[in-house]
Chain A
Amino acid sequence: MLSIEKITIAIQEALYANLPEFIALLAQFVLVGIFVISLFAILGLVLVFMERKVSAYMQIRVGPNRVGFKGTAQTLADTLKLVLKEGLTPDGADKFLFNLAPFIVMIGAMLLMAPIPFARNVQIWDINIGVLYISAVSSISVIGVLMAGWASNNKYSLIGAMRSGAQIVSYELSAGLSIISIVILTGSLQLSEIIASQENGWWIFKGHIPALIAFVIFIIAVTAETNRAPFDMAEAESELTAGFHTEYSGMRFALFFLAEYVNIFIACAIGATLFFGGWMPFHIGGWTEFNHMMDYIPSSIWFIGKTFFLIFVIMWFRWTFPRLRIDQLLNLEWKYLLPISLINVLLMTIIAIMGWHF
């Protein structure tokens, strides 16, 4: 059976067998870089197309269906248009920061690719503090957003950026706490170990109700962190025209756009890894025959399936709900989600200590 694991291991072995160790490592770096960049591009194309189709389905429309096979090349055409467009820099803008901001947002999203396990044994960097790394790096993008808002010299952008700052800083707490509740169960920050601990069942099933609560809070928090509706305060089309990226055009706008989608993918991938076992097939403890059957489906398919299911859920939010107001948004976090997460972590600790989970 063909699996990504075999390909990556074969490449690695071939590299190390034929080249000196230093050059092999360098070649690996280059390959990973190419992989990340191409994954970025593919994700952007796929997710934008998916969003347009999902929204069309919900809005009783057909969606893009002309360019390419069933409209699949529509995003390519859009990208081409954005590349050809002139990237304007406003007169009063801080030129350096204005041009830097999209790249910071982009780099934040790229760095987050590193610890994600895409399939069995396919992981760029199995860092032992993986969860901590993710929480830390995912905050970088807010700097880019604030920079974009400030440097644009536009009042709409400034308001959007300030909103985004307040929002991401607040929701990071809930996201962090819900991640911690899984860390408590596994006793490890390393993503590969978190997945290994779900060999006889995913945490969302094994962790009783606290895991379910943690998952719901996690989904809400990452929706807010990625600035998606109903928490798209930073953009808030009807209020702030386009929020922090009002003044951006051409490829620089496309970078923001791309980073948003990649961030969604990463957030959902982390959610799938922590709560749904990542690439781990659907296993039930003790049912050996059943588990073997499930293992026949490649691990990468499991990972992609779970991630895209979560992405669909987040898109579903966006096309169904009205937007919250900024004060309601912060109320929701500080008055409801944060206390609930704190109590939830406590419950989870009790469950972990008493060994009540399966």
Chain B
Amino acid sequence: MLEEVGTNTEGDLIINIGPQHPSTHGVLHLVITLHGETVKKVEPHLGYIHRSIEKMCESLSYRQFIYVTSRMDYLSSHINNHACALAVEKGLQVEVPERAQVIRVLLDELTRLASHQLWWGAMAMDVGAITPFFHAFREREMINDIMEETCGARLTMNYMVPGGVMFDLHPNFQRKVKEFVQFFRSKFDEYDELLTGNIIFQERTKGVGAISKEMAISYGCTGPVARAAGVSCDVRKLNPYEVYHKLQFDEVLQTSGDSYARYLVRMGEMKQSLSIIDQLIDNIPEGDFQAKTKAVLKLPKGEFYSMVETARGELGVYIVSEGGMTPYRIKFRSPGFSNLSALDHMARGAKIGDLVAIMGTLDLVIPDIDR
């Protein structure tokens, strides 16, 4: 094995980062070749948390398989469920009531905010600032409380069913969300003071880990990673689902493609999510929260694909149905995997400290990559 050799023939140091390491945020294993402090090559080794979710889904009914996907990208579990529900609804030709659509979008955006907040704290930790992590968690806790009240769980919500949501909103939902939005807005300046405007942070991220628009496209990057390079790829804009086409929000784009651009995109997205929540929270239509569906769902024979914008990028759900009670084959296109594949390109020539900062801005969630 490489780790026993230690150096390669050119005398470069070969280091294993992970699978247990403070900055890999999970069981990611990177084999990096170092020339002094400079990274020459990054080789991600995957599979430490592979649970064969795609295979498991093949033996679960169309109602059940949705909840397994919460465990993929656990930070945007609600959005994962959403993508699966959309694919099933496409097959069933079910019209989702408008109330359910609005609830789904609201919770999507709250999930996105929670995910970005965690990313913000973890990213700060990666560049060596520990305090922001706790500040981010203070806000994230409020979202988790809202989720707990409405969905019954804090992390893996399992709130989606084909045809709508599992149950109606909690009576406190609107008040609590408004409180949260107001509180979070007031804390945004603090975020900027702690990190965005900090000269050390800017020095650490500006011009580091840059990826061009062309390379971002060819690596299949999506989400904030691609948008930081100037690729317009927001599924909510390009291929709107639910009520996104009625909403006013901007796709946050940057052009430089470096770590700082990725940081700014995510910060901008948090503001856009807040504005989406603002637009919807007072306009939740009355009506059913769930469409009438049969007890046992059977998708017609064929192939169904749906995609959504998770906090990390484009999540695609591809279902092949033979007409039975369970899917014949399921494939998830997870954003983390393609974003990770660009890491080698970004990190070559950077310092080892930069590699960690780049990984932080990629916002990797390992169970999403391994599935």
Contacts and interface: CB of A to CB of B under 8 A. Distances in A.
Say whether A associates with B. Answer: yes
Interface of A: 55, 58-61, 155-156, 159, 163, 229-230, 232, 236-241, 319-328
A289 to B, nearest CB: 43
A240 B163 CA distance: 49
Contacts of A156: 15
Given A155-B15, A241-B21, A323 B353 contact: yes
B352 A230 contact: no
A239 B353 CA distance: 6
Contacts of B134: 59-61
Interface stretch (B64-72, B119-127, B153-161, B234-242): B119-127
A238 B351 contact: no
A229 B129 CA distance: 9
Interface stretch (B200-208, B303-311, B313-321, B362-370): B200-208
Interface centre among B22, B23, B128, B195 (most CB of A within 10 A): B128
Given A159-B37, A163-B37, A238-B23, 17 more contacts: A59-B135, A229-B128, A230-B128, A238-B128, A239-B23, A241-B22, A319-B130, A320-B194, A322-B129, A322-B198, A323-B127, A323-B129, A324-B200, A324-B204, A325-B354, A326-B351, A327-B37
Nearest to A156: B15
Nearest to A318: B130
B6 A322 contact: no
Contact of B6 (A155, A232, A319): A155
Nearest to B129: A322
Interface centre among A237, A323, A324 (most CB of B within 10 A): A323
A324 B127 CA distance: 8
B356 interface: yes
Contacts of A230: 128, 200
B293 to A, nearest CB: 45
Given A59-B130, A323-B353, A326-B351, A238 B22 contact: yes
B131 A238 contact: no
A44 B6 CA distance: 37
B356 A238 contact: yes
Contacts of A327: 37, 351
Nearest to B124: A322
B83 interface: no
Contacts of B204: 322-325, 328
Contact of B126 (A238, A241, A320): A238
Interface string B120-148: 00001111111101110010000000000
Contacts of A59: 130-131, 133-135
Interface residues of B, number: 33
A320 B131 contact: yes
B13 interface: yes
A319 B23 contact: no
Contact of B353 (A60, A61, A320, A325): A325
Contacts of B130: 55, 59, 319
A288 to B, nearest CB: 45
Contacts of A60: 134-135, 138
A150 to B, nearest CB: 14
A241 to B, nearest CB: 6
B128 A322 contact: yes
B43 to A, nearest CB: 16
A168 to B, nearest CB: 17
Nearest to B24: A238
Nearest to A56: B134
A239 B200 contact: no
A321 B129 contact: yes
B22 A322 contact: no
B301 to A, nearest CB: 50
Interface string B328-360: 000000000000000000000001111110000
A320 B135 CA distance: 12
A322 B23 contact: no
A322 B353 contact: no
A323 B128 contact: yes
Interface in B22-43: 22-23, 34, 37
A237 B22 contact: yes
11 contacts: A55-B130, A155-B13, A156-B15, A163-B37, A238-B127, A239-B353, A241-B21, A320-B129, A320-B131, A321-B128, A323-B200
B352 A321 contact: no
A159 B17 CA distance: 13
Contacts of A55: 130-131
A1 B22 CA distance: 53
B352 A239 contact: yes
A241 B200 CA distance: 21
Interface in B196-222: 198, 200-201, 203-204
Contacts of A319: 130-131
A320 B37 CA distance: 25
